[in-house]
């Protein structure tokens, strides 16, 4: 038996696509593209996706005819990604990545914004989004929604997944952090792989939930206007039972706190 306590996604990245194989990624990508179309993003888009994981969404956005720069801090995630001719990968953190290019759309999906738990982290991510967007561009992201977190309260959950080669048990234990609008989720993994020792490890995922008022304040601070908020994938009005809320923001002014040119990554790929 092998036991370790790695950073978030350091060990679980290799199982990420398997664990989330039940998510309808095609429907999610189609829904997001529909939101972009609704708010006037051009038919052809240059998209910067922050926290792109293994590229499940990025590749689908590229299949739809868009050019995508996928930013992901985990080398393990990038190693699991399937290469696509219209997806350019950059290993970097969304809080400080600087790319020498302008985009029509910036996206941060699957709670990437909620992984920013300090005020500085949040400000830095919004700054990144602003600096890489043309005026009029769209910033789309989903977050844990404060009313639902307070009303429903995170619960301990166990996930079981298996096929002929592997069996996984993941126990998620939430630890409340109400004073900081946060929740720490401790994931305890047990992995049985064919012809391998049992593998046990734990990961701590620190997340922050947001109210609509907080997003409005952040948008105003960083040169955005809030266009819309709705339940991710269903489009329902957010409520106290809506865990994930998707926000559409439009850049209306340049954030003057920092220059775009700060050791920028040059993207040579073209549509």
pLDDT at 183: 94
Quick one: 132 and 223 in the same domain?
yes
Quick one: 128 and 221 in the same domain?
yes
pLDDT at 195: 87
Report if residue 266 sits inside a domain: no
Q: For residue 132, what pLDDT band results from cuts at 50, 70 and 90?
A: very high
C-alpha triplet 54, 27, 55: angle, nearest 5°: 10
CA distances from 164 to 2, 167, 169, 193, 194 (A): 21, 8, 15, 9, 8
Entry pTM: 0.92
Across the range 232-245, mean pLDDT stands at 97
Report if residue 36 sits inside a domain: yes
Quick one: 128 and 173 in the same domain?
no
Helical H segments across the chain, by residue range:
16-19, 25-38, 56-63, 75-80, 119-132, 146-152, 212-221
More confidently predicted of 176 and 173: 173
pLDDT at 157 over 70: yes
Across the range 63-74, mean pLDDT stands at 96
Report if residue 172 sits inside a domain: yes
Separation of CA 266 from chain center: 23
Report if residue 78 sits inside a domain: yes
CA distances from 70 to 62, 89, 188 (A): 11, 5, 28
DSSP secondary structure letter of residue 146: H
Contact between 114 and 144 under an 8 Å Cβ cutoff? The reply is: yes
Query: 101 — alpha (psi -120 to 50), left (phi > 0) or beta?
Result: beta
More confidently predicted of 58 and 261: 58
Residue span of the structural domain in which 176 resides: 149-207
Which of 90, 92, 149 lies closest to 125, judged by CA? Answer: 92
SS3 of 265, please?
Answer: strand
SS3 of 45, please?
Answer: coil
Report if residue 184 sits inside a domain: yes
Quick one: 52 and 93 in the same domain?
yes
Quick one: 70 and 133 in the same domain?
yes
CA distances from 185 to 157, 196, 202 (A): 10, 27, 10
Across the range 226-236, mean pLDDT stands at 97
pLDDT at 99 over 90: yes
Domains in the chain, number: 2
Contact between 139 and 109 under an 8 Å Cβ cutoff? The reply is: no
């Amino acid at each position: 038996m092998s036991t370790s306590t790695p950073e978030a996604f350091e060990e679980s990245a290799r199982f990420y696509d398997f664990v989330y194989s039940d998510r309808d990624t095609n429907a999610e990508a189609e829904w997001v593209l529909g939101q972009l179309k609704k708010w006037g993003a051009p038919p052809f888009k240059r998209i910067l996706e922050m926290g792109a994981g293994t590229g499940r969404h990025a590749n689908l956005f590229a299949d739809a005819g868009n050019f995508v720069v996928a930013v992901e801090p985990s080398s393990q995630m990038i190693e699991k990604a399937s290469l696509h001719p219209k997806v350019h990968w950059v290993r970097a953190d969304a809080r400080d990545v600087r790319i020498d290019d302008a985009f029509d759309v910036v996206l941060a999906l699957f709670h990437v914004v909620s992984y920013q738990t300090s005020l500085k982290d949040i400000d830095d991510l919004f700054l990144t989004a602003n600096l890489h967007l043309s005026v009029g561009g769209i910033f789309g992201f989903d977050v844990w929604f404060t009313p639902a977190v307070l009303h429903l309260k995170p619960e301990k959950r166990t996930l079981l997944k298996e096929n002929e080669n592997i069996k996984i048990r993941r126990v998620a234990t939430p630890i409340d952090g109400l004073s900081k609008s946060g929740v720490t989720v401790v994931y305890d993994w047990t992995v049985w792989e064919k012809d391998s020792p049992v593998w046990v490890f734990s990961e701590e995922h620190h997340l922050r939930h947001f109210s609509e008022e907080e997003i409005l304040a952040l948008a105003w601070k960083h040169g955005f206007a809030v266009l819309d908020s709705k339940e991710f994938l269903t489009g329902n009005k957010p409520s106290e039972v809506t865990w994930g809320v998707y926000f559409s923001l439009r850049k209306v002014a340049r954030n003057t706190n920092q220059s775009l040119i700060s050791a920028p990554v040059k993207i040579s790929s073209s549509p």
